[in-house]
Structure 1
């Protein structure tokens, strides 16, 4: 059996995903709503990750243990860290680090104790599928958006990046903290609160994971766009568009 998990970070993203599933059925486990159905003939389970590393790890574990998923795709927003990563850009993960993991001096900083690992890789096959779909999905989304919904962003010039995404149990929104992260992890492209924990669970179970994040802010003191409007107008549409293309490709 092949069953793919579609994990969203926000309610609006999940709603956009469920709108593409004609036969979704809800099951509640561990206080979470899991929606089982089909998309482009693929058997899928859609769910919110919830916020933070423990919540995301619980969600990943239930997906694997209870629903038997053998691939996980994550979509959501993130803060841009690298200078070249701007609001409206898209980052496909190649690897993940928990930036707040520190069991030193017993283990090296960022190393997950007893694993010997600091960086957890994203699945190359699924990541390639996301990387191929990402720019095409942006075109799909822009075709449905009125320019007034672009939130003063030039989304037609959005850049696509692949590399390191870092996760931690802090919402990074201050310039000093984002600068400290860039000094500590100079190749980090974006910061969020879930995927590195999910990557650790998926590594333990041998389940492929890939993630794509659209940049909603620069993880600093400046307010670039209205966050809630960004989620509703842009992020939710983009998540559905990229998953639509990936699932169609996987079904081919």
Structure 2
């Protein structure tokens, strides 16, 4: 492969999260690696590769490593849904991570809780310029979005800490424990911090964009599958496409 090519990677964990984007992206070719399908295309003036990471931190780390070592990726955009934790973070809102943390990382007493052994930090920062662009674009997209029947209020954009772990957080007790331990966390999901660690190790800029599908508690406010297909997947398409159109080539 020509290493001069610096592709933009678009990653999601579940097929429903990537469906609208794959339908809009011009077809080119597919490559199979490690049981994953990588869709390669030219879109919005960029060489693009899209892939499903699968669910969980190990799956996300494997997928990200493949992107960076076999597909000459220079920037990574992760998009999908998450549970809302922060006050005022509501279903339908979009959270853009400026930092990511593994909430189930605990190597104490050898290291402080949450700290990544060998790195000396617990939070990994997303690329500031890329985050700023995504926040701006997401705000513009949501300003134009019509209030969907699944939403109770107009969606908003938030920027801050997103936490990840190999636990599907869906009880009030679990979300309360996370809020107590990490009061500035805006959202919880299962892949972003793993992708962040691989990108950090390789020195590759990344951004994580999450649409809030629930409040990570006992109350199911919306039909999840319908929400992902009718709201989150469409947000992902609109935001990613707009980012690509403004991203320097």
- The TM-score with structure 1 as length reference comes to 0.94
Question: 1:166 aligns to what SS in structure 2?
Answer: strand
CA RMSD in angstroms, aligned pairs only: 1.3
SS at match of 2:227: helix
Shift >6 Å, 4+ stretches: none
Distance in 1 of aligned mates of 2:181 and 2:170: 17
Tell me, yes or no, if structure 1 residue 174 matches structure 2 residue 178. no
Aligned length: 245
Q: 1:31-42 maps to which residues of 2 (within 5 A)?
A: 31-42=35-46
Counterpart selection for 1:191 from 188, 191, 199: 188
Is 2:214 the partner of 1:217? yes
Tell me if the contact between 1:141 and 1:237 (Cα under 8 Å) persists in the aligned partners: no
Match of 1:120 in 2: 124
- List aligned pairs for 1:91-110, cutoff 5 A: 91-110=95-114
CA contact (8 A) 2:92 2:151 kept: no
8 Å Cα contact 2:93-2:212 kept in structure 1: yes
Report 1:6-25 matches (<5 A).
Answer: 6-25=10-29
Cα 1:183–1:121 shift into 2, 3 Å: same
Q: Indicate how the Cα distance of structure 1 residues 23 and 189 shifts in structure 2: closer, same or farther if over 3 A, else same.
A: same
Paired residues of 1:96 and 1:196 also in contact (CA < 8 A): yes
1:163 aligns with 2:167: no
TM-score (norm: length of structure 2) = 0.95
Task: State the distance in 2 between where 1:79 and 1:201 align.
Answer: 23
List per-residue Cα deviations over 1:91-117 (Å, max 9, x = no partner).
Answer: 100000000000000011001111112
Once residues 52 and 13 of structure 1 are traced to their aligned partners in structure 2, the CA distance between those partners, rounded to angstroms, is 15
> Where does structure 2 lack aligned partners over 5 or more consecutive residues?
none
Shift of 1:209: 0.9
Deviation at 1:84, TM superposition (A): 1.3
Specify every segment of 5 or more residues in structure 1 that has no aligned partner in the other structure, as ranges: none
Task: Judge conservation of contact 1:138–1:241 (CA < 8 Å) in 2.
Answer: no
Q: Is the 8 A contact 2:142 2:156 kept in 1?
A: no
What residue in structure 2 maps to residue 153 of structure 1? 152
| Post-superposition offset of 1:8 | 1.5
- Please say which of residues 159-168 and 12-21 is displaced more in the overlay: 12-21
